[in-house]
Structure 1
Amino acid sequence: MRRLVVAALVVLATLPALAAGAQVNASITGVTVSPQSPAPNESVTFTPTIRNLEGSGDAMVIDSVELRPSGGQGLPVYTRAQNLGTLSPGAKITVPLTHRFEEPGTRDLRIHVDAQNANTDESVELRYPVSLSVQKRHPQIDVQTNDSVAGVATNGSVRVANGLDTGVSNVEVAVSGDGVTVFDDRSVFASLEQGGTATADFRFRPERAGVNELTATVTYTLPSGTERTVTRNQTIETEPARRGVVLETSRSGSGTEQTLTVDIVNQGNAPAEDIVVTGVSENATISQTIVDSVPASSTRQVRLNATLSEPRADVAVTADYESGTVQRSVNATATLRATPASIELTGLDVAREDGLLQVTGSTSNVGTTTARSVVVRVVPSETVEPAPPNRDFFVGEVPGSDFSSFDLTARATGNVSSIPLEVSYLVDGERITETFAAPVDSGLAGQEEQQTGGGPGVGLFAVLGLGVVTVLAVAGLLFRRYRRGDDDDDVDI
């Protein structure tokens, strides 16, 4: 009996030793946090890795994994995962825990694992400290504006730079202003990756001079679905509008077709837009032109085509334009002049035909306007007189820098060295008369007098001719009588 009791005691003594040897050897090997620097009210995920080590003596049943503040017992549990199953020796599990922190600041946290030995129900507790900084961070906003003038629209832009450690989506940029009218005030971007930038352009018009303020509001969505808004105010200095558009004119060309050059000089501090330049004249037809814009402190040159109907044309030049919301106008004057018509007789030639002198040539207009009612005639003198059929010649119109031919006839008496000619024409309603001389070759001078006059040379030739005729007549008569005498002698024999 004593031996049996001893044996039983030995068996009972050895059982606790065997149970104590079957322990769980587990740990939390690490915790990942995403995002690492969250903003207030942004969803943060803590993912611990729980491992039952290879040398563990038994499996481990995980009851719960919790996220708690660091400290003693009784602190609140931020979030937990429960009933995660059994973890065999050598196995591991990752458990994501998500929570949002409403206020910024640094937080000391702890991952708490409650488990038990799968065979002995022995309690197993694992701890892992986690530190988290909740920062009130947003993408950076930069507002850029051009110099502004009261009542004048100008350009601006909002640049959004995502410095967060995550991408964002549904990015909306809106611009507003106090005392400022904003055009194209809203831009939307589907997404903005981490480290990326986006630029939203807009136009704005301050309604008054002085200090004005623009407000840029950016709304975006975090990957967790949280929508966030950030604003940026930008102060702008607005100058009062200053007029300063002037016109400077110059011309080119000397005929009836000329060019009027107009320089649009913007000396103001606002652009001149939608400019219409016109010219008006009673004595010319002027074209018009349109200019989109002339920036402040800039010059734009345009050309207007002008057709003159008179040698002089006074032109009123007008530029109508818009400066801001105000319609304005500026004027200038210019004078266009064409070289008036002037007729010269060129290519003069004198020839004899049928006892008359034929004078030919051209009426050449050395001016740039039209000479009208051009008439050329022979001027009578002591030795020259007009003769039909062309005592005078009506040329009509001779355009500028052009010519027209004419043909005159004259009768000359005695030695003549030139034929006096007269040309008359109208220029701007005024008749101009000028005289020219058509030179006569020496071989033609005096021929008409020798043929038709009664000088001694002509009488001598007439007497000599009559004598020759008389001699020939007497000789013929004697010859006939001599033959007749011969014939009578023959008959008597």
Structure 2
Amino acid sequence: MDRLRTVASVFIVLVLLVGGLGLATAVPDARLIVDDATVTPETPDPGETTTVDLSVSNSAGSGEPVTIDSVTLSDEERVYATAENVSALSPGDSVTVPLSTAFDEAGVHELTATVNGSYADTDDDGEQITETVTITYPVTVVVGGVDADGIKDDVQVDAQAVDASSIEDDEEEPAAGVDLNVGDLGGALGGANIQQPDDGEEEEDSADRVGDRLLRIEVTNFGTATARSVVVEPAANESDLPRLPVADLEPGQQEIVYVDLARIEKASTVDVTARYTLGTERLTSATAYEYAPEQVPSAALQFTDLDLVTDGDVVKISGNVANVGTAGASGAVVAVEESEGVDPIYPQRSYFVGAVPESDFVGFDLTASVDANATDSVPITVTYLDDGVEQERTVELDYVPREQASGEDGRTLWPFALAGSAALLVFGGGALVWRQ
């Protein structure tokens, strides 16, 4: 009994294996084949009519005739030619399908020919149905006499900062089509829309201002084929830098574009990438430029040696205004800011400091009335001119009452009292010796 079960199990496994092999090696009822593709002329010029003759056959081993519904010639971006309702092929028959088009750009065009066909079949219930079959075939078209095997890619990009004033009117015209004779560099400066203001026009938008420093970007083609669809893409931290289109570069040709470095606010690496098409491939070339904005001298005032003493509700504030910047400040004024519980009072509501040279300081005194129940700080502000531009700095002094000592007038007097006492002792002692 056990032996019989074993034989039956082996038989079932063999049946399943044979059935599976049968499914895996099943041959379709229709088998289309592309035998060849001929390009005429072999190396067409840009714009010249080009015909691809596609030879399509229905294999003699096919079980059914096939109707070729359509044939297309295309790449990843577009369809160049289409033929519809081509022919019906019995097993072993063939047909040549002409597909005509023209190419605007020179280079190596890698295309795909797609053949769509259909044939009659029956389903498992014996009903008549229509099945479809699709095959593809690669087609290479070389346009403009370019040797597909001899293309050498050697596009290089270089970037260097220059002064805007150094761009001569007779310099080679940059790729963005800039007319350097009209007084603006709009097209060259990263596509900035630089406009000359009309008489009486308000200050131009900050996005349209041109800085003194420009990034000069050169794109040079040292290769053997034309670089097309060239785009320069600069990037630096979070700076808003535009993409710059460049004209097609023939072998040995160079184009120049400019980026306004005023768009970059802090020191950073400017990565410059040139993207271009060579033949049918999209390629890149890149470089980097280390940019450090020039430091403009400026004044920077801050408070030092602040002291706060009280006499009842009256607060006397003394200290210095120090210039820690790299340029002198002028017109400096220190004042107590009026706030809740704080009122500036006579005699020193504000104090005119005047000019504060670089790396120097000037003292000041202020007076105010302070309600200790309403506030715990006293705000003071210094306003000044930095290269004609008004600047302001405010600090909050912690209000910790320290009563003024007898005879104290906002300044320390004990050194003077000690010196006076010493003088009296000297003169008194000298008089006593003289009398004796």
User: Do they superpose with TM above 0.5?
Assistant: no
TM-score, normalised relative to structure 2: 0.33
TM-score, normalised relative to structure 1: 0.30
Q: Please tell me whether Structure 1 or Structure 2 has the larger radius of gyration of its CA atoms.
A: 1
Q: Which has the higher contact order (CA 8 A, sep 6+)?
A: 2
Which structure shows the bigger proportion of residues in strand conformation? 1
